[in-house]
Amino acid sequence: MPSKREATAIDREDIRAWHHRGMSPRLLIAVAAVALGMAAAGCNGSEDESERAAPPPRTEPKTQTESAPAKRSPGPARTRGAPSVSTVATGLEAPWEIAFLPDGRALVTERPGRVRLLSRDLKLREEPVAEVDVSAIGESGLLGLAVDPRFKRNRFVYLYRTAQTGNEVLRYRLEGDRLEEDARILDGLEAAPIHDGGRIHFGPDELLYVSTGEAGNPSFAQDPGSLNGKMLRLRDFRGEGGRPEIVSRGHRNVQRFDWQPGTGRLFATEFGPDANDEINIIRRGQNYGWPDAQGDQGAPRFVPALVDYEDVIAPSGATFISQPGSTWTGGFLLAALRGEQLRLVSLDGDRVTGDQALFEGRFGRLRTVVEGPDGAIYALTNNTDGRGSPKEGDDRILRIVPPRGRGRR
């Protein structure tokens, strides 16, 4: 793929040299391992020293709100002034996804193959609730996690992992405080050290959506016969799974997606190459352009991005703020890896009315962000993923209390 700029090939969310299709998978992995080692060693020279003088505040999470389940609902956690941040847990290794259970506990994946449990009072259990066999090379490993909408009845939890044979989605069952493997419901996804997609999430239709990357092979994204470079939707996830429906194609590496409250529109973040990180509104049957068009280009044949970031920020996990009472309410909040920030994208329907960077440089790389049942925002740092500069305590789970006020619903 010709690039718009000369890239520092390694100091990027991908290593585009790996797009060479002639390389054998084994060689590809070897090259990837060497390159990532170089990345870890070579790209950390310009970290902001001032961070050391001003570590993130470590207020006890209990002081803000309701860590014990309240009999009366206290309403979503909100601050009177600026948003507040506290560290909930430290010492995680490349955490990738956090998802809450109906009882207020949360599960957290770590890319090397562990699922951790966060208790209702926000204590991280030392012992993993599952250890999952993965092939964790480069960006691959244990990635997404989703909780079944009928979890109270069936105890099902879904994981996206890279196995030796490719990327796949597994169904687990939470038995006591152990996750037990139950079935493999999707396989046949190509895996690579780059562009493994990996987010899984239930839609308002209660179907399981899966984002896949093009695994370093851009032609997969346009190939209707390939499940790579797609948004997928799976119906039989409580049964045997099977071949999913392709929702949209022409994707390079979709990282997270969520549905806009009120409209049901599906928004997704996607990594671009040397520029053109994207936010897209995903519509069924549409083509989002990769590799033939990027960013806001490509109409009318392809759907242009709603937001096209010229500077690389690497937007990964994202969520709509659905709970009321905050100036953030109704906004699309995303976590950026390279950009080391959260971004709050304000919307009026499908029109962007604001796009604000938050906490830039303060916590390092941020992998994802979710809205907790208490109305606070939970974010995962990603400084131990081989491309960051881990500081003491990394990686962390952060709890962010949004500011009180009126947002757009």
Q: How far apart are CA 242 and CA 184, in angstroms?
A: 9
Quote the least distance from Cβ 222 to Ca ion, whole Å.
11
Instruction: Tell me whether the omega of the peptide bond preceding residue 300 falls within 30 degrees of 0, making it cis.
Output: yes
Q: How far apart are CA 158 and CA 184, in angstroms?
A: 9
Give 216 or 289: the residue with its C-beta nearer to Ca ion. Answer: 289
Neighbouring C-beta atoms of residue 224, cutoff 10 Å? 8
Quote the least distance from Cβ 302 to Ca ion, whole Å.
7
Quote the least distance from Cβ 290 to Ca ion, whole Å.
5
State the residues that interact with Ca ion by CB under 5 A: 288-289
Q: 398: which 2 tokens?
A: 């952060």
Q: Which residues make Cβ contacts (< 8 Å) with residue 353, sequence separation at least 6?
A: 346, 347
Q: What angle do CA 236, 237, 240 make, to 5 degrees?
A: 70
Whether the Cβ atoms of residue 11 and residue 39 lie closer than 8 Å to each other: yes
Quote the least distance from Cβ 281 to Ca ion, whole Å.
11
Q: Which residues make Cβ contacts (< 8 Å) with residue 1, sequence separation at least 6?
A: 16, 19, 218, 273, 291
Quote the least distance from Cβ 306 to Ca ion, whole Å.
10
Q: What angle do CA 331, 61, 102 make, to 5 degrees?
A: 65
Give 256 or 399: the residue with its C-beta nearer to Ca ion. Answer: 256
Quote the least distance from Cβ 232 to Ca ion, whole Å.
17
Give 289 or 315: the residue with its C-beta nearer to Ca ion. Answer: 289
Give 187 or 292: the residue with its C-beta nearer to Ca ion. Answer: 292
Quote the least distance from Cβ 284 to Ca ion, whole Å.
16
Give 253 or 326: the residue with its C-beta nearer to Ca ion. Answer: 253
Taking alpha carbons only, the member of 144, 173, 139 closest to residue 160 is 144
Give 61 or 272: the residue with its C-beta nearer to Ca ion. Answer: 272
Give 96 or 288: the residue with its C-beta nearer to Ca ion. Answer: 288
Q: How far apart are CA 174 and CA 157, in angstroms?
A: 7
Give 228 or 384: the residue with its C-beta nearer to Ca ion. Answer: 228
Q: How far apart are CA 368 and CA 388, in angstroms?
A: 15
Q: Which residues make Cβ contacts (< 8 Å) with residue 156, sequence separation at least 6?
A: 147, 148, 150, 171, 172, 173, 182, 238
Quote the least distance from Cβ 225 to Ca ion, whole Å.
20
